[in-house]
Amino acid sequence: MSKTPIPAAGPAAGPSADRPVAGALWMLASGLSFIAVNGIVKYLGTALPAAEGAFLRYVLGLVFLIPMLRPLLRARITPRQLGLFAGRGLMHALAVILWFFAMARIPIAEVQAINYLSPVLVTVGAAIFLGERLAFRRIAAVVVAMLGVLIILRPGIQAVGPGETAMLFVAVLFAGSYLTAKKLTSFAAPPVIVAMLSIWVTICLAPFAIAVWRAPTMGEVGLLFVTAGFATMGHLCMTHAFRLAPVTVTQPVTFLQLLWGTLLGVIFFAEPVDVYVIGGGLLIISAIAFITWREAVLNRRGITPPVGATEV
């Protein structure tokens, strides 16, 4: 998972959003980059403690912040704003630790499917914390998404393990991080929000990593640096996609990540195809697609984040 960071601004289409094919291709590249992140972290498995792996991924990723140093140094941040940045960093840090933990323990497709819940939770959180109107259509979409989660987990039929539980918390924490980002856009530029997220996540991860530290091998460090590069590439490609096409075009492309994740697990990690995970994931996807479509029809600035915005 960037976190490399979540794009702070909403993905509403701007004046240049008139190249749907190019936008879809950029979003396809973004999704493949995030799947590469998933594959590398899955390959590392439990060799490194989750907190240490997450910390190294962010420390190594700080090199990609160099182009953002100028706007960051020029930013005038008040103590209250600093508190919001720190709070978001802590939420995001906990989410990344849990994501690393889950990725090592459950199939990639299951991680991907449960993570789709995060954009739906943003809809609920926006009504509670940002004053968004929670219309009946949105409530229905949330119910459908929750049904999808129940199909994936099947509580009472099979045991809900620590990996699945961790991913549920990941979805909640990433939703909280995204909502805080929406709040931050009212007084901070996107490069500042992106840079502050990476800095604060690294700071917040440090004590967790120290508590379980073991000396990593050069191979592990190298793989985590590549992970940071792919995560950064994923968010850059996503940004290009938003500039070229509206979210109603780019959002469906992100749903292919469930397919890529399933194929990656089957081909490289011998993970079985679980029809319940696929079916539940498709229900959650349908809820996200419906909410996104309604935001476009109503010609409003969307609050629902693109799926890729809740990747590590």
Summarize pLDDT for 275-284 with one digit per residue, the tens. 999 999 999 9
Which residue type sits at 89? Answer: G
- Bridge partners, residue 158, by sequence: 155
Give CA–CA dist 163/68, Å, rounded: 35
Q: Give the mean model confidence (pLDDT) for residues 48-72.
A: 91
Burial label for 299, CB within 10 Å (0-12, 13-18, 19+), is exposed
Which residue type sits at 135? Answer: A
Q: Is 221 helix (H, G, I), strand (E, B) or coil?
A: helix
Contact in structure between 112 and 94 (CB atoms under 8 Å): no
Question: Is the per-residue pLDDT at 152 higher than 70?
Answer: yes
161: its two tokens: 């393990």
Question: Is the per-residue pLDDT at 111 higher than 80?
Answer: yes
Return the sign of the alpha-carbon dihedral for residues 101, 105, 106, 107. Answer: positive
Tell me the pTM: 0.88
13-25, pLDDT tens digit by residue?
A: 444 557 889 999 9
66: its two tokens: 């160099």
Share above pLDDT 70 across residues of the chain, in percent, rounded to a whole number: 90
Closest CA to 208 of 75, 309, 97, 293: 97
Question: Is the per-residue pLDDT at 4 higher than 70?
Answer: no
98: its two tokens: 């849990």
What mean pLDDT, rounded, does the chain reach?
87
Residue ranges of domains in the chain: 20-310
194-219, pLDDT tens digit by residue?
A: 889 999 999 999 999 999 999 999 99
Give CA–CA dist 278/151, Å, rounded: 9
For the residues of 68-124, what is the DSSP string, one character each? GHHHHHH----HHHHHHHHHHHHHHHHHHHHHHHHHTTS-HHHHHHHHTHHHHHHHH
Give CA–CA dist 24/256, Å, rounded: 11
Phi, psi of 255, deg, nearest 5: -70, -15
> 166: pLDDT confidence band, cut at 50, 70 and 90?
very high
